[in-house]
Amino acid sequence: MKKLLLFCSISFLLACNNTSENKAENQNTLINKETDSVDNFGIVIHGGAGTILKENMSDSLELAYRAKLEEAIRTGHEILANGGTAIEAVKRTINVMEDSPLFNAGKGAVFTNAETNELDASIMDGETLNAGAVAGVTTVKNPINLAWEVMKNSPHVMMAGEGAEQFARERGLEMVAPEYFYTKNRFQSLQSLKERNSEETVLDHDENKTAFIDAFIKDSKFGTVGCAALDKNGNLAAGTSTGGMTNKKWGRVGDAPIIGAGTYANNKTAAISATGWGEYFIRGVVAYDISAMMEYKEMSLAEAAKEVIQNKNPDLGGNGGIIAIDHNGNVSMEFNTAGMYRANMDKNGNLEIGIYGK
């Protein structure tokens, strides 16, 4: 009997010890998984898509684009590496591109038919699904900052025109005179497009001429900037900023400030920013469509982005591209045009910059 009791006691102690070891092992596994998650972050940007060809680009201009793309993405990457939020990284990264005359956003915004500059932007937090957007602002230096203010400090998602600018002043954002957005090359592009539109009216029966002008008008829609990021806390964010379409009339607004079309972020799936022919990106709800295909059809980011950008959107008649990052840090830079200004950096600091087709 004593031997039986001794055997049972030893067995019980061994079982307890194994249970403790298993718990410790499971805790270590959990910690390792959490560490891996915490260590994972990344960022991806675009500076517009369109007919971007090597033969039309001078060496000096290409270097300028590459340098600015690198400056922008390193700005956001540093924020993420230091434990900053995806939202902050997106906003500050886009600021760099908004302050550059190279891109159709902020300082480099294109001109409307009335020879003014009307700017749009949006931003979205993948953790909360909160979002902010602005359209048709003319004196806000960095529209993405105003979109952030709408998201964080108002009960609304979108503001437009004078009301948005009044809100910007109340929030203490940096305001500028409309002349700040003037750049010679953008103004000349407007005059060239007006001239070609006039020629199209006169020569509308010349199919070759019409086709040429149609292509020119399509490319006048490209140039938006955008950013998507994943931070160390596993949160996603995306933002987009643009000057819209050259020669636009009647207060036209494209996809950039439309949540779900030009910008979308959801921690369940991905953060996405689009660039292209806005009317078709709105009709196709492109950014959300990619997220929805990931969530409901269980497609990967690469699969969903390819399906939407290479098949679904072109079937409608639109073209352009997207940049995106998913909750695992996978990146997509999908486009169906000749080129797209783009860059991405992972948690290890590996940098990739592209301009022309794949």
Q: What is the dihedral of CA 239, 245, 248, 253, to 10 degrees?
A: -20
Short-list 46, 51, 44, CA closest to 221:
51
Structure tokens at 97: 């591109």
Cα–Cα dist 153/155, whole Å: 7
Q: Is 108 left (phi over 0), alpha (psi -120 to 50) or beta?
A: alpha
Spatial CB neighbours of 225, under 8 Å, sequence gap ≥ 6: 45, 46, 47, 48, 94, 97, 98, 103, 104, 105, 240, 241, 242, 275
Q: In what order do the strands lie in the sheet with 320-326?
A: 263-265, 270-276, 320-326, 331-335
By the 10 Å C-beta count (0-12 exposed, 13-18 middle, 19+ buried), 154 is classed as middle
* Partner residues linked to 265 by β-bridges: 271
Is there a catalytic annotation at residue 138? no
Cα–Cα dist 328/202, whole Å: 54
Strands in 56-186 per DSSP E: 119-125, 131-137, 158-160
Q: Which of 224, 240, 242, 275 is catalytic?
A: 224
Short-list 200, 225, 269, 273, CA closest to 119:
225
Point out the residues that are catalytic. 224
